[in-house]
A and B are shown apart, each in its own frame.
Chain A
């Protein structure tokens, strides 16, 4: 019995030695002083925190109040997914975190965001669950980015528990983190690939019976209707599943390699990061190839990736790296300017022009017909992606004005219904608003 007591004491003491090891590690060995969730790091204030401004210099995030009692104020609630928040209790996220070191010493971070456009997109997305992103096709600048619902950085403490319990996940940035089946918005890439491989031409004649049979299974048009005698270009404009399923079967794994060229299936290398989505290594059957061709099967994309696709189609087939921060000002190094980065020519210039023409047709007489006035010269594609019992996801990608596009947009509404009805009006309104803003500015100049 005495031996047992001694053993228990040694056992207890051994446990305390392990505890001592833990103490040694956390007290001395670990280096958490600059962890982004550590308030000891972000509460350090020597100088007033720098301002984050939009592309015109309008403030997006400013510090209000006196030392020790400051408050960070944001120009728009939806900006939390872009600019992030900076709060003594809840830490920091997004640009507030990434540029913390610069902001701490008072530097100004100039973003590519257009505040006026951002507010417009915010009002369009309010009350919906989804994501919208607007890019400048020639550079990759992000003009507006809204993930709805959002958390409002101005009232974080008051509404934190409400946000935490919200089943719609307002913390999730759906633009970068949300992964969805693309549905028909993938068809411009299928169309472009088929043109590039010379499998078809825009005016090839098809007889769309509403059903395409492969491997003893069928692929149907939306609603099962047959579109009759149409050209390939019209097949894109009217979103014929049978034509694109047939093209995809003939393209096979070539299509997947082109999808990867568009940076689908890989993580975007920009400030906010994001999910990679999914593009399979190869299709396992002809039926599978057909499904991939209409954006179903295993394909997953993020709204940001679809925005990049739209921008590349608008930019003569050249894919640009998206970016959010234009310039850092003030401090020792005075100015640091971000230069646009080309990710490559993903479709040849002539093919990109043909795809653009088909998308113009889509906006003029196809599934995106009548969503905005003809002056806008919209090029667009809608999508309705099957997403289980809660209803289809509504997609829209588009750009304008079509010969020399200034803005490319991707919109997704979760379980919103058809792309034409739920997403296209939002996308078109974003584009119209952006062009209105810029035309007004040109007028002033």
Chain B
């Protein structure tokens, strides 16, 4: 056995043990779900390796998914059950990402059209759940968040355009329209994320200090305008600076997050011993606070290590990619994932204002999980020689 596999098995065994402990305490009919997640991961692993793609990232992702499932189960078994089916769909999306040539230059324009269409649909037909996020209902039963997919499509398009002819009017217009549509839905977390990743890609292909200053100025101006225009952003900003003055609104969440981490200390209060019911959005945006309270610094540090490992794996993979265009898109995918992690965790830690996004692969949310796995499939596919 290669050492990497062995480490993975340790992780899975540990998570399985945790799941067993949970069943012992809560008793459930969902015992087969973590096993099924493991089995699906192994199947995906085999397919990935057969296709000649590096499977190391999948190991880390499966650890995150299992950890997320266990914590959702600890919070409310109903969430865990739904998250499982989200993962089943997500596994399909991973395979689609892995097996089909999504990044073919021919689809570049189509991706832009699809991204904008999704956002327009969300704007026209979408319903709002929990403030800013727009949901789309298809056939009355299936709901999803278009923005989760739209931002990946946009990065596919922008990456391709940037690699070929730097920045042109058309791609700038698409980006502007995309950000505007997000702003109209007052969904500014993803807007910030997309803007940051786009800037990173742009500076990768053509860097100059003057442009950097210009971008920073532009970004600051846009942020200032957004804060001025949207009162809920102002509340968020103030809740970040002085959360104790906003106990009846956003400040409550910020404070509960850091209280939870503080209660966790070095080793945590133990599974199920935390006070997760007082943390708003404990199962989505604030799941890190729950993990931090129950597993302490060791738990959150381990989680951080998994993400850093994922970044290391992705960048090493990207070094091997010969095609400049694909490499730029791959960099976009990688940054899309990690900038989101950094924004969410930085927000919980009060290093920056909280932007309200999920913790990739861990938080509850089928759309988010499916989209992330699809993107991850496409990233893994880049590890192959041919397109």
Q: Which residues of A line the B interface, CB within 8 A?
A: 1-2, 4-6, 8-9, 12-13, 15-16, 18-20, 22-28, 30-33, 35, 37-40, 43, 89-91, 160, 163-164, 171
Known contacts A8-B204, A16-B342; A33 and B304 CB within 8 A of each other: no
Work out how many contacts link A and B, with CB atoms closer than 8 A.
Answer: 112
Between-chain CB contacts (< 8 Å), 26 pairs: A4-B204, A5-B331, A8-B315, A12-B308, A12-B315, A12-B334, A15-B342, A16-B311, A18-B346, A19-B345, A19-B346, A22-B349, A23-B297, A27-B261, A27-B296, A27-B300, A28-B266, A28-B297, A30-B262, A31-B262, A32-B258, A39-B278, A40-B259, A43-B275, A163-B248, A164-B248
CA–CA, A15 and B346, complex, Å: 9
Sorted nearest first, the 3 A-B pairs with minimum C-beta distance are A22-B349, A9-B315, A27-B297
With A16-B308, A164-B249 as given contacts, are A30 and B297 in contact (CB-CB < 8 Å)? no
Contact assessment for B292 and A27 in the assembled complex, using a CB-CB cutoff below 8 Å: yes
Q: How far is the CA of A27 from the CA of B266 in the complex (A)?
A: 7
Known A5-B318, A16-B304, A40-B275; 12 more pairs at CB < 8 Å: A1-B327, A6-B319, A8-B200, A8-B331, A9-B311, A13-B308, A19-B345, A23-B300, A26-B349, A32-B259, A37-B259, A163-B248
Counting chain B CB atoms within 10 Å of each CB, which of A15, A24, A164 scores highest? Answer: A15
- Report Cα–Cα, A289/B278, bound state, in Å: 54
A405 to B214 alpha-carbon distance, docked (Å): 71
Complex Cα gap A13–B318 (Å) = 16
Q: Are B261 and A26 in contact (CB under 8 A)?
A: yes
- Chain B residue nearest to A10 (CB atoms) is B315
Asked whether B36 is an interface residue with its Cβ less than 8 Å from the other chain, the reply is no
Which residue of chain B is the closest to A7 with respect to CB atoms?
B204
Q: Check: B335 CB closer than 8 A to any chain A CB.
A: yes
Q: How far is the CA of A18 from the CA of B349 in the complex (A)?
A: 10
Q: Is B31 on the interface with A (CB-CB < 8 A)? A: no
User: A20 contacts which of B266, B278, B292, B301 (Cβ < 8 Å)?
Assistant: B301
* A169 CB → nearest B CB, Å: 11
| Chain B residues with CB under 8 A of A20 | 301, 304
B319 and A5 form a contact (CB under 8 A): yes
Q: In whole angstroms, what is the CA distance A20 to B315 when docked?
A: 21
Tell me whether A8 and B342 are in contact (CB under 8 A).
no
B304 and A23 form a contact (CB under 8 A): yes
B351 in contact with A28 (CB, 8 Å): no
B244 within 8 A of A: yes
CB proximity of A19 to chain B, nearest CB, Å: 5
Chain B residues positioned under 8 Å from A13 (CB to CB): 308, 311-312
User: Which residues of the partner chain A approach B258 to less than 8 Å between Cβ atoms?
Assistant: 26, 30, 32
A163 to B249, CA, bound (A): 12
Query: Min CB distance, A267 to chain B, in Å?
Result: 18
- Report the Cα distance A9→B297, complex, angstroms: 24
Chain B residue nearest to A39 (CB atoms) is B278
Interface flag for B54 (CB, 8 Å): no
Given A6-B315, A164-B248, verify A19-B342 contact (CB < 8 Å): yes
Q: Which residue of A lies closest to B262 (CB)?
A: A32
What 1/0 flags go to B55-78 for Cβ under 8 Å of A?
A: 000000000000000000000000
By size class, the interface of chain B is 35 or more
Within 8 Å CB of A23, what residues of B? 261, 292, 297, 300-301, 304, 349
Assess the A22–B304 pair: CB atoms within 8 A.
no
Find chain A residues with CB under 8 A from B263 CB.
33, 40
Q: List B contacts of A2 (CB < 8 A).
A: 319
B338 interface residue, CB < 8 Å from A? yes
| A residues in contact with B331, CB < 8 Å | 5, 8
- Is the CB–CB distance between B247 and A12 below 8 Å? no
Q: Does B265 sit within 8 A of A, measured CB to CB? A: yes
> Which residue of chain A is the closest to B349 with respect to CB atoms?
A22
CB of A171 within 8 A of CB of B248, answer yes
Using Cβ atoms and an 8 Å threshold, which residues of chain A touch B261? 23, 26-27
Using CB atoms, name the residue of chain B closest to A43: B275
Chain B residues in 8 Å Cβ range of A28: 265-266, 297
Complex formed: what's the CA distance from A23 to B264 in Å?
Answer: 11
Q: For the complex, is B255 an interface residue (Cβ under 8 Å from A)?
A: yes
Residue among A9, A12, A37, A90 with most chain B CB within 10 A: A12
**Cβ of A16: which chain B residues have Cβ within 8 Å of it?**
304, 307-308, 311, 342
Is there a chain A Cβ closer than 8 Å to B82's Cβ? no
Contacts of A30 in B (CB 8 A): 258, 262
- Residues B262 and A26 in contact, CB atoms below 8 Å apart: yes
Assess whether B324 is interfacial by the CB under 8 Å rule.
Answer: yes
Closest CB-CB distance, A163 to chain B, in whole Å?
A: 8
- In the complex formed, the residue of B with least CB distance to A15 is B342
List residues of chain A with CB within 8 A of the CB of B244. 37
Task: Indicate whether B232 reaches chain A with its CB closer than 8 angstroms.
Answer: no
Find out whether the CB atom of A8 lies under 8 angstroms from the CB atom of B335. yes
- The answer to whether B248 and A9 touch across the interface, beta carbons within 8 angstroms, is no
> What chain B residues lie within 8 Å of A37 (beta carbons)?
244, 247, 252, 255, 259
Q: Which chain A positions have C-beta within 8 A of B308?
A: 12-13, 16
Q: Give Cα distance in the complex from A390 to B55, angstroms.
A: 70
Residues in A neighbouring B297, C-beta threshold 8 A: 23-24, 27-28
A13 CA to B309 CA in the complex, in Å? Answer: 10
Choose from A8, A25, A27 the contact partner of B264 (Cβ within 8 Å).
A27
CB distance from B382 to the nearest CB of A (A): 12
Q: Can you name the residue of chain B whose Cβ is closest to the Cβ of A41?
A: B259
Cβ–Cβ contact B346 & A22, under 8 A: yes
